[in-house]
């Protein structure tokens, strides 16, 4: 009999989020205290969003499914286009990315209660074919 983990035990995703928030808070506090931070480093903040979004698309797990990966990727791409003014779109011209993300999210996220797809007809042990 396996014991179900309680909801009070922190998981890996909570640890990663906690480390991220600690690092972000430390950087913002250092900036408020007058420490010089490298100029231009902030413009690359969309890159981690894009990487995590791609990871969620390629290797979904219980913390990040494919639909969540699509949304993180869309937010990261939107911010990257806005910051660097890629393709001449800027912040005001890149909003259709979210319409595309919504469509992909609907296609990749299964409906709740929907039956699973049946296996292909030629799957199974060879002696039963």
**What's the pLDDT tens digit per position in 69-105?**
999 999 999 999 998 999 999 889 999 999 999 999 8
What tokens appear for 83 in the block? Answer: 């910051």
> Residue 120 burial (CB < 10 Å; 0-12/13-18/19+)?
exposed
Domain boundaries, the chain: 46-110
pLDDT per residue as tens digits for the range 34-71: 888 777 877 888 898 899 899 989 998 888 888 889 99
Considering the entire predicted model, what is its pTM?
A: 0.64
pLDDT in tens, 3-30: 555 444 445 667 766 777 788 888 888 8
> What phi and psi values does residue 107 have, to the nearest 5 degrees?
-75, -35
Distances (CA, A) of 110 to 45, 49, 78, 114: 31, 23, 25, 7
């Amino acid at each position: 009999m396996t014991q179900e983990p309680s909801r009070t035990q922190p998981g890996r995703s909570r640890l990663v989020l906690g480390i991220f928030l600690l690092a972000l808070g430390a950087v913002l506090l250092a900036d408020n205290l007058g420490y010089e931070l490298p100029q231009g480093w902030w413009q690359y903040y969309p890159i981690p969003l894009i990487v995590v979004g791609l990871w969620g698309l390629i290797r979904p797990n219980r913390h990040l499914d494919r639909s969540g990966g699509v949304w993180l990727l869309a937010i990261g791409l939107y911010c990257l286009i806005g910051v660097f003014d890629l393709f001449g779109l800027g912040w005001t011209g890149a909003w259709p990315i979210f319409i595309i993300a919504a469509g992909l999210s609907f296609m990749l996220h299964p409906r709740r209660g929907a039956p699973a797809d049946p296996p292909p007809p030629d799957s199974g042990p060879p002696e039963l074919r």
